[in-house]
Structure 1
Amino acid sequence: SIQCRAPWSQDIYELFTPECKFKESVYENYYVIYSSMLYRQQESGRAWFLGLNKEGQVMKGNRVKKTKPAAHFLPKPLEVAMYREPSLHDVGETVPKAGVTPSKSTSASAIMNGGKPVNKSKTT
């Protein structure tokens, strides 16, 4: 049976068994599901999932399916950071071919100019 213990409890580490190991997966609706690393269905080999019923009690693993809301948990983000996804137009460097070292004549300004050589002697 699965026993939930408070994170501040001293006996968490003393009672850790293979039954306590779960695989955390992100389901297609961005909820998190937990499957047992130890137990599986005997006939089908389907994993047992952690689930809670309407009263908040742990359900039997062989009764919980990953598609049911009882097995879906909201992930708790540790840090929220918004990053802009780079586009191909923002990429300033070309990827060198394997085994080829860039020559000294190639400069960053030539690469940034769409590969056209830039005459550095002219000033505008």
Structure 2
Amino acid sequence: MRAPLTLYTLFPHALRSLSLVQEHFTPECKFKESVFENYYVTYSSMIYRQQQSGRGWYLGLNKEGEIMKGNHVKKNKPAAHFLPKPLKVAMYREPSLHDLTEFSRSGSGTPTKSRSASAMLNGGKVVSQNEST
């Protein structure tokens, strides 16, 4: 059984930000993702900004893991920096040299051809142990 998705909304309320769980996607759920040169990611609100300076409101967590006030989080503070976790997608897997030890077509009626890893590195030519390079 698949777990339901949870949408969090970050919106300003009396000079502080609140994060609420929502069932439906709303405009408050939209964040702009920015990637820094050190691969950290920041998320800024697409609709809320500081009124005086126009600076964006960033999503940030304090030491306890609670959401910080939107007007106290700046993009250069460590509280706003997140490291993305890459997803493992098993669409295609590159073969390793350790996997190339033997290719076989079992049940096809054709003879099997064995290739060693050194033969694969040498352009398909099998080099005997006696030959020197």
TM bucket normalised to smaller = 0.5 to 0.7
Does residue 25 (structure 1) correspond to residue 20 (structure 2)? The answer is no
Counterpart of 1:2, as a letter, is: S
Aligned-partner SS, 1:77: coil
TM-score, normalization by structure 1: 0.53
Deviation at 1:29, TM superposition (A): 1.9
Does residue 49 (structure 1) correspond to residue 58 (structure 2)? The answer is yes
Question: Which structure 2 residue ranges, 5 or more long, are not aligned?
Answer: 1-17, 93-133
Does residue 74 (structure 1) correspond to residue 83 (structure 2)? The answer is yes
Q: Deviations over 1:48-69 (max 9, x none)?
A: 0000000000011111001011
Q: Which residue does the alignment assign to 1:2?
A: 19
CA-atom RMSD, angstroms? 2.2
1:2–1:20 Cα contact (<8 Å) kept: no
Equivalent residue pairs, number: 74
Distance in 2, matches of 1:23 and 1:54, equals 23
Deviation at 1:76, TM superposition (A): 1.3
Identity percentage over the alignment? 74
Deviation at 1:79, TM superposition (A): 4.5
Counterpart of 2:67, as a letter, is: V
Q: Which residue does the alignment assign to 2:47?
A: 38
Deviation at 1:17, TM superposition (A): 2.1
User: 1:105-124 residue pairs with structure 2 within 5 A?
Assistant: none
Q: Deviations over 1:59-114 (max 9, x none)?
A: 11111001011001111112589xxxxxxxxxxxxxxxxxxxxxxxxxxxxxxxxx
Moved over 3 A (4+): none
Distance in 2, matches of 1:42 and 1:28, equals 29
Question: Which structure 1 residue ranges, 5 or more long, are not aligned?
Answer: 6-10, 82-124
Aligned-partner SS, 1:23: strand
Does residue 12 (structure 1) correspond to residue 23 (structure 2)? The answer is yes
Larger relative strand fraction = 2
